[in-house]
Structure 1
Amino acid sequence: MGTSPASCVYSVSLPAWILWVHKWATTELAWTTFPESGWEEVSGYDDSMSPIRTYQVCNVREPNQNNWLRTDFIPRRGVLRIYVELKFSVRDCASIPNIPGSCKETFNLFYYESDGDTATGSSPAWRESPYVKVDTVAPDESFSLLEAGRINTKVRSFGPLSKTGFYLAFQDLGACMSLISVRVFFKKCSTTIANFAVFPETATGAEATSLVIAPGACVPNAQEVSFPLKLYCNGDGEWMVPVGSCTCNPGFEPATTDTQCQACTPGSFKYKPGEGSCYPCPPNSRTSTRGANVCPCQSGFYRADSDSPDSACTSIPSAPQNVFSTVNETSISLEWEDPLDPGGRDDIIYNVVCKKCLSERSMCTRCDENVDMTPRRLGLTQKKVVVRNLQAHTRYSFEVQAVNGVSGKSPGVPRYATVNITTNQAAPSAIPTVHLMKSTSDSLSLSWLPPERPNGVILDYEIKYYERGQALSHTVTAQHSTARVEGLRSATPYVVQVRARTVAGYGRYSIPMDFSTSVHSDPQKSVQDQLPLIVGSASAGLVVIVALVVIAILFSPGVKVYIDPFTYEDPNEAVHEFAKEIDISCVKIEEVIGAGEFGEVCRGRLKQPGRREAVVAIKTLKAGYTERQRRDFLGEASIMGQFDHPNVIRLEGVLTRSCPVLIITEFMENGALDSFLRLNDGRFTVTQLVGMLRGIAAGMKYLSDMNYVHRDLAARNILVNSNLVCKVSDFGLSRFLDDSSADPTYTSSLGGKIPIRWTAPEAIAFRKFTSASDVWSYGIVMWEVVSYGERPYWDMSNQDVMTAVEQDYRLPPPMDCPMVLHQLMLDCWVKERNLRPKFCQIVGNLDKLLRNAASLKVVTSTYSGDLLRIGGTLPGHHRKSLDSSQSDIARQHVSQTLPIRV
């Protein structure tokens, strides 16, 4: 067993030897030969004088040679595809005199599978079946008699294999040759670590193009951030297209090679998972352990609950400075300045504690709840407060506390400044309310409660009254909290207010109260003082709003609006309204060029009266169609017939009265855009490619302006004529999401599949097909054009594509892609559909690029095949192979932008 880069080797070794130099024999290989006069085992030395054994054959002078050589049984070891390296030399037939014309310079390589070492000298039979032919092997160089043997090296592969092992067999049909060595090996993707996930050694698939999925596991001290973890191994033994991701745990940072997570050293920490490095402990904190995810605060310092672990530890603030007060009777205004030491924080707020002191020596107690502080008592952000409703001639003590986010963590009380204040004499507070005790025709008997804060001895009360609606008022005084107001008019409403007076003056009036005197008792008293009864009447006309609903499609000059033909009950009515009926005598079918959804597609000629003969494409409706198929077939013609634009496929007409039913369109010589680009890889200039994209965008702008949503815009549905003019095609198939499918795709009503990789996310998730979703698809078409028809997202599954797009991964720029083109692609792939450009903007941008060709010379540096995330790149499969130095550069670039997502 030997090894080589990206491969595992099982050697059935014939060590190197020199042709036609006789050396002493070593241990025989004893492979099986047929017949015995054919292949001969020979011993010798190689260039380093090591003994070797080889097989040679040279029966060129005898006709009808059929010499077989079979190796020993070779265990398969679970691999699916085998590679064989052959080293051999062949004699030039022209250098051998007097030989018949049957001399060969080639030999055949075969293999035979078996579940055990059961082969004998006669079984399996010495013929091509049951042996499986791999290839006829020819040398690059042969040699003559006078020359040293020229060694040829060839590598061939075969598979898939399914049994326990196999034999190799070599068939000579008349050559003069020597088989020097045979090396049997298989390719594998070696164990690798990508973005902190380990992927095991994985053998390649059965075919050279196969992708084998390898499951991954996070390295020690790492955790998954997205799953599943998997990596694809391609047929060349290279890893590509990572899916899922791991990242280092809190307390651990990436090692130098980004293949493991190492613990933070003492004095450093990392509080959240991710690829970031460990950081030194924040100020006023420390840790002496390894792998710390937080640094504890030192004594006297704290973190608030809302502080992140990477925040510095802080302390409580000192007391506010320079508190001063202003007294206004029983109101006080307090102001202060910031503490000298804020504790290292900027979230300081203030609390004001009010205490009432009855005497100089007595203890002060908390103020009553009726004491009002504006704007509030606690949580003040400004350094000012106004205190009202204090008692007159009373001493108060006010504590102004400074607190911050960690004050609640400190075991002590907040630090504060104190100010002692004695209030002045003050007028009494307002009378709470006034009550009516009795009402006569000329008097009102009133009562009220004393003020809550008299602020001294009440000398008397003043009652103010006036007729409602009048400005003139009258006052009377009372010694007690009751009074009778006399000399009033009967049956009249009055407004009454009361206020108290002390030596400090009058307090505030009570709120206005309405009371009415009663009706006069004299029956002959005129009722002229009674309030008149106002009776109002209004008449209004009935306003009738007539809504006229007109359902119509309005056409402004030069603008058409698309009409869905499937709204017609009769499909013939729609197709005859939008498509021209052509006589069968005008159409000549020449050859079948393909097959479509409904039948064959042909090339033919159309010769209509008064018009030149034209080459056309003819779609046929296959025999045995259902009425639904005929309706859908003609529906596509009804849609195309409404369009008239140089970048939209043109409908020539239909034949609905013939059998079969035909749709005739203009003929596009170069066929579908994707296959045309693949056949012409690298043959066009960037300007030519941009011209193609501009044509497609112009066609889509026209369709969008007509309110038509294509739903299936892809390079396969763009046709190209001989002048490289691109035209949008494939219209009219209604589609729905097949929820039951394990591989989600959009499915036409006739069973046609539409790949997920061209479809906008909102169309997949919510079936929201709009011009914005067509713009997303146009971005994919741009990528197909610049990559010359490469398959979007390569061999990734549809589910992996949807997952990647949802995680904001986008296709990278293809090789040699101008930066401005890839940026336009990314604009088309913005997740929020309303932020994507309109087709009119896309056309304008491409026109600017065509006028300013210099902007197309700035090429992106991202390698093709690397999935791109907004803000970074991902390494993976490359359309063009990279050597090891380029791969290293790519990895360095990725490590500086965004980690690999696995």
Structure 2
Amino acid sequence: APSAVPTVHLMRATAGTLSLSWLPPERPNGVILDYEIKYQERGESFSHTVTAQHTSAKVEGLKAGTVYVVQVRARTVAGYGRYSSPLDFSTNDPERSVQDLLPLIVGSASAGFVVILAMVVIAVVCLRRQRTGSELEYTEKLQQYGEYNLSPGVKVYIDPFTYEDPNEAVHEFAREIDISCVKIEEVIGAGEFGEVCRGRLKQPGRKETTVAIKTLKAGYTERQRRDFLSEASIMGQFDHPNVIHLEGVLTRSCPVLIVTEFMENGALDSFLRLNDGRFTVTQLVGMLRGIAAGMKYLSDMNYVHRDLAARNVLVNSNLVCKVSDFGLSRFLDDNSSDPTYTSSLGGKIPIRWTAPEAIAFRKFTSASDVWSYGIVMWEVMSFGERPYWDMSNQDVMNAVEQDYRLPPPMDCPAVLHQLMLECWVKERNMRPRFGQIVSTLDKLLRNAASLKVLTSTHSGDLCRVGGTLPGHQRKSIGDAQDMKQQMSQTLPIRV
């Protein structure tokens, strides 16, 4: 269960309400589903509770001029955590408030106009001064990227490749770490540009932590160095519990290093295959909710991932899933375990995870990421099964173009497969947004009974959007040859 909520703050009080806010637990140990606020009149034993989806809430229906004892706790799929320390907050007493304000109102009436006028003049001067310097520079940069129409205060992703000098982007968004603070312990894998290692990071004034270290192999070109560090420039702009965290970079060392948080269970697809059938539906939905929350954050920042797949989601020891792999330049091998399709417009695309408009026209948007998220849902619910099994890329494209969609995995709740199908709607503007997906999954987690209704479609049959035709049973989920024969003879199941 999550740790205790650190503290609760009173934002505003009226005669009948208390507006509260609080910090999330330091150790959530999973995806926080909601918060429970407990309150009672001081000296009374009977208490009330209300729930909130975020780290703030307004408690209504209270007595005026009364002191209330308030506590908050968080809930994950593992249950409730500990309450915060009890704090006393008072609602306002209307009669007392008027009595206290009356002398102030009478005494300040004559001078009020002069004071207000002076404050307005000072405020205008200060605001004009604030528009200079770094703020104007930031506004110019937003205009350069076409994002100047966003609301003030909204954090916007900035593409590092728009910088004339890519090193400038690295130093702006990623912190330089001294080589003496990093210790490489062992190689745990291979990345696009070099080895991936596990190591230790010990910085002055901070506790030593386990980290993942990406290395740039020797003999690199200047372009490879730029592409390698571009991922750090991207990652350094993000701060969300479901997005991989960048610790920093080492650009003055040899080899060049990128240091991130360490995710004990590695990539989600291989982790699920190793633990086939060991997680409950609720746990799997909790993982999907975390991925959706991370993607909502990225989408809100106007960042398009382009390669969302279970292999690019990492899992820590608490089963928290975090979106990773932000390298925009990819050099994928057609003979690898992730075959790609070279489009007529150039560049390589992971066909099985990519929306039709992105394959055909290179139209990558948040909506195309939603399509990819639907494939990730299928991967998770099938415990790492390969999407479309061993069908060729061309067969996959032809099937999708003919409105065939992946069937529900074995024992998949009907509501989840329906959400997948909504993510795979051909018209991209009709697909749900990530905020809607997060909200839907939250409702499912709060209503576990809805996850008990399973789909009746056989997991080996492709589904077709619209109408209903009899399908063919398949003995093995992985028997794609049978499925392709069925496709050439008759139409598989339509839903």
**TM-score, scaled to structure 2:** 0.64
1:640 alignment partner, one of 210, 235, 239: 235
Look up the match of 1:815: 410
Report which of the two has the higher share of helix.
Answer: 2
Residue 217 of structure 2 aligns to which amino acid in structure 1? K
Look up the match of 2:297: 702
SS in 2 for 1:605: strand
Contact 2:216/2:228 (8 A) holds in 1? yes
Q: How many residue pairs are counted as aligned between the two chains?
A: 336
Look up the match of 1:659: 254
Rounded Cα–Cα distance in structure 1 between residues aligned with 2:161 and 2:279: 41
Look up the match of 2:472: 875
Rounded Cα–Cα distance in structure 1 between residues aligned with 2:473 and 2:300: 40
Rounded Cα–Cα distance in structure 2 between residues aligned with 1:680 and 1:667: 20
Look up the match of 2:363: 768
Rate the CA distance shift 1:684–1:737 in 2: closer, same or farther, 3 A: closer
Rounded Cα–Cα distance in structure 1 between residues aligned with 2:257 and 2:162: 22
1:507-518 equivalences under 5 Å are none
Rounded Cα–Cα distance in structure 2 between residues aligned with 1:611 and 1:899: 59
1:50-69, CA deviations, whole angstroms, 9 ceiling, x for partnerless residues? xxxxxxxxxxxxxxxxxxxx
SS in 1 for 2:198: strand
Q: Is 1:832 aligned to 2:438, yes or no? A: no
1:102-501 equivalences under 5 Å are none
Q: Is 1:574 aligned to 2:169, yes or no? A: yes
CA apart distance, 1:771: 0.2
1:690-719, CA deviations, whole angstroms, 9 ceiling, x for partnerless residues? 000000000000000000000000000000
SS in 1 for 2:244: coil
CA apart distance, 1:645: 0.3
Look up the match of 1:308: none
Contact 1:647/1:725 (8 A) holds in 2? yes
Look up the match of 1:801: 396
1:33-91, CA deviations, whole angstroms, 9 ceiling, x for partnerless residues? xxxxxxxxxxxxxxxxxxxxxxxxxxxxxxxxxxxxxxxxxxxxxxxxxxxxxxxxxxx
Look up the match of 2:14: none
CA apart distance, 1:732: 2.5
Residue 306 of structure 2 aligns to which amino acid in structure 1? R
Structure showing greater radius of gyration is: 1
1:615-641, CA deviations, whole angstroms, 9 ceiling, x for partnerless residues? 000000000000000000010100000
CA apart distance, 1:557: 6.2
2:190 alignment partner, one of 595, 603, 616: 595
Rate the CA distance shift 1:736–1:689 in 2: closer, same or farther, 3 A: same
SS in 2 for 1:603: strand
SS in 1 for 2:248: strand
Look up the match of 2:222: 627
CA apart distance, 1:899: 6.0
Residue 727 of structure 1 aligns to which amino acid in structure 2? K
Look up the match of 2:447: 852
CA apart distance, 1:872: 3.5
Rate the CA distance shift 1:855–1:796 in 2: closer, same or farther, 3 A: same
Rate the CA distance shift 1:763–1:605 in 2: closer, same or farther, 3 A: same
Contact 2:267/2:315 (8 A) holds in 1? yes
1:500-547, CA deviations, whole angstroms, 9 ceiling, x for partnerless residues? xxxxxxxxxxxxxxxxxxxxxxxxxxxxxxxxxxxxxxxxxxxxxxxx
CA apart distance, 1:570: 1.2
Unaligned runs of at least 5 residues, structure 1: 1-549
Q: Is 1:777 aligned to 2:369, yes or no? A: no
CA apart distance, 1:559: 2.7
Contact 2:198/2:213 (8 A) holds in 1? yes
Q: CA RMSD in A?
A: 2.9
Look up the match of 1:607: 202
Rate the CA distance shift 1:718–1:557 in 2: closer, same or farther, 3 A: same
SS in 2 for 1:573: helix
Unaligned runs of at least 5 residues, structure 2: 1-138, 143-147
Rate the CA distance shift 1:750–1:642 in 2: closer, same or farther, 3 A: farther
Rounded Cα–Cα distance in structure 1 between residues aligned with 2:197 and 2:299: 30
1:137-196, CA deviations, whole angstroms, 9 ceiling, x for partnerless residues? xxxxxxxxxxxxxxxxxxxxxxxxxxxxxxxxxxxxxxxxxxxxxxxxxxxxxxxxxxxx
Contact 1:587/1:606 (8 A) holds in 2? yes
CA apart distance, 1:736: 10
SS in 2 for 1:646: coil
Report which of the two has the higher share of strand.
Answer: 1
CA apart distance, 1:755: 2.5
1:412-450, CA deviations, whole angstroms, 9 ceiling, x for partnerless residues? xxxxxxxxxxxxxxxxxxxxxxxxxxxxxxxxxxxxxxx
1:817-871, CA deviations, whole angstroms, 9 ceiling, x for partnerless residues? 0000000000000000000000000000000000101000000011112111113
Larger RCO (CA under 8 A, 6+ residues apart): 2
Look up the match of 2:307: 712
Rounded Cα–Cα distance in structure 1 between residues aligned with 2:346 and 2:361: 22
**TM-score, scaled to structure 1:** 0.36
1:585 alignment partner, one of 163, 180, 186: 180
Look up the match of 1:31: none
Rate the CA distance shift 1:899–1:685 in 2: closer, same or farther, 3 A: closer
SS in 1 for 2:183: strand
